[in-house]
Amino acid sequence: MKKICLSVVGLFLSFVALFGQTEKDTSTYKPRKLTFEEANLVSSYYRQDGNNSAVTGGIGTENLTDYSNTVDLKFVKWGRKDIKHSFHLEVGMDHYTSASSDKINPYTISSPSHADTRIYPSLSWMAENNAKGTTVGAGLSFSNEFDYRSIGANVLFAQKTANRNGEFSARLQAYLDNLKLIYPIELRSGVIPTTREEERGDDYATASRNSFSGSFSYSQIINPSLQLALIADVVYQQGYLGLPFHRIYFTDGNVAIENLPDTRLKIPLGFRANYFVGDKLILRSFYRFYHDDWGLTAHTAQFETSMKLSPFFSLTPFYRYYKQNSVNYFAPYKVHSPSETYYTSNYDLSAFNSHFYGAGFRLTPATGVFHVQRISALELRYGHYNRTTGLNSDIVSLNLQFK
């Protein structure tokens, strides 16, 4: 894993050096040719543990680790009528190890399912017309791992008000996914459970899952200190919406895989408020209400404070509280009846409360981070998550910004 991370860093620095040679100061210069503007390298480490794995029917280890690296490159080109064209190229890679996924075939010492690597590139474009206050954009994305593949597309439109203090935006997105139906070893036809079957064959059946969403927001500058935003989403999913290796144990002791409806309608509504207390303190708050037609209702409240301790150093503590009820189809281990139509023991769909808290700091020295002029900012964040089902996790992320 260390070797992969160093390779990503090396490739990223090569890109920065290549495009940085022709870099201009875009505050005074409007390049008519495609010009490098900014790059970000984000690396993170995530670990979790718990005892409610859906792979083993709602009991058993949820131990998981994930290493993630993302490279984001931004380019700018000014067109006719002073329209600013921005292009974002992002390439991400995650590598995870999962003790619960290893239980798909518990008869192996360590099955291929215990680890996987996901690669997810994306490309987006935006055109800003400052004279009219409009922005249009579009994007494509792709994600691939052993048992899951996703292709995404989106379009964006935004319009500022006449006085430029308000802005309405709308984004339409579609994700067309395909997953391999990897069933628990004992539920595969013609397979003797005690054999060490190779799980990475190419003969699995597949199923589709499609997601379509519309995201709408309106932001308003109330005064120099207060900014507000209203956010509304509508998400519709159809296809295979469960996972084929999530077991269910019924009251009579029989085992099956989870079965969920093939459609789902989600409606999140949000409100955001940012308050600027002078030049050194920003208070950010966010609330979201969520409801879907599986019976899940949730509330999220988040608070974040950005404190500027010096011209080049800021500290950002944060806290998020989340509460949800269970979907109509959830029940714990050996509680589902065989007569039920839909059933799952995935604790992500159960009733729980959760807390996520931590802090980050950001360095933006005038001489560059570590006195390297091109490294304009460094941000390090840590967060701890726990919920009432017993799941807990930690995440550390590092962001380096190059200009």
Q: What is the pLDDT of residue 108?
A: 62
Q: How many angstroms separate the Cα of 294 from the Cα of each of 349, 350, 351?
A: 10, 12, 13
165-220 per-position pLDDT tens digit? 999 999 999 999 999 999 998 888 765 555 555 444 457 899 999 999 999 999 99
Torsional class of 376: left (φ above 0), alpha (ψ -120 to 50), beta (otherwise) = alpha
Q: Pairing mode, if any, of strands 375-387 and 352-363?
A: antiparallel
pLDDT tens digits, 272-296: 999 999 889 999 999 999 999 999 9
The tokens for 338 are 């065989």
Confirm if 345 and 360 have CB atoms less than 8 A apart: no
**Structural domains in the chain, sorted by start:** 2-402 (2.40.160.40)
Question: Within a 13 Å sphere around the CA of 169, how many CA atoms are in the beta-carbon half?
Answer: 19
How high is the pLDDT of residue 2? 45
Percent of the chain at pLDDT exceeding 90: 79
Residue 292 to residue 326: CA distance in whole angstroms: 11
Task: Give kind and range of the element (H or E) at residue 9.
Answer: helix 2-20
Distance, in Å, from the CA atom of 125 to the CA atom of 130, rounded to the nearest integer, reads: 16
Non-local CB neighbours of 339 within 8 Å, separated by 6+ positions:
none
Q: CA distances (Å), 278 to each of 94, 199, 281, 290, 327, in order?
A: 40, 59, 6, 34, 44
* Tokens describing residue 150: 């996703």
Q: What is the 3-state secondary structure (H, E, C) of 87-138?
A: EEEEEEEEEEEECCHHHHCCCCCCCHHHEEEEEEEEEEEEEEECCCCEEEEE
Task: Specify the pLDDT at position 115.
Answer: 83
Q: State the average pLDDT over residues 109-138.
A: 87
Q: What is the mean pLDDT of residues 1-24?
A: 49
pTM for the predicted model, two decimal places? 0.88
Q: What pLDDT, in 10s, does the model give residues 309-361? A: 999 999 999 999 999 999 999 999 999 999 999 999 999 999 999 999 999 99
pLDDT of residue 52: 96
Distance CA 333, CA 191 (A): 25
Characterize the bridge pairing of strands 166-180 and 35-49.
unpaired
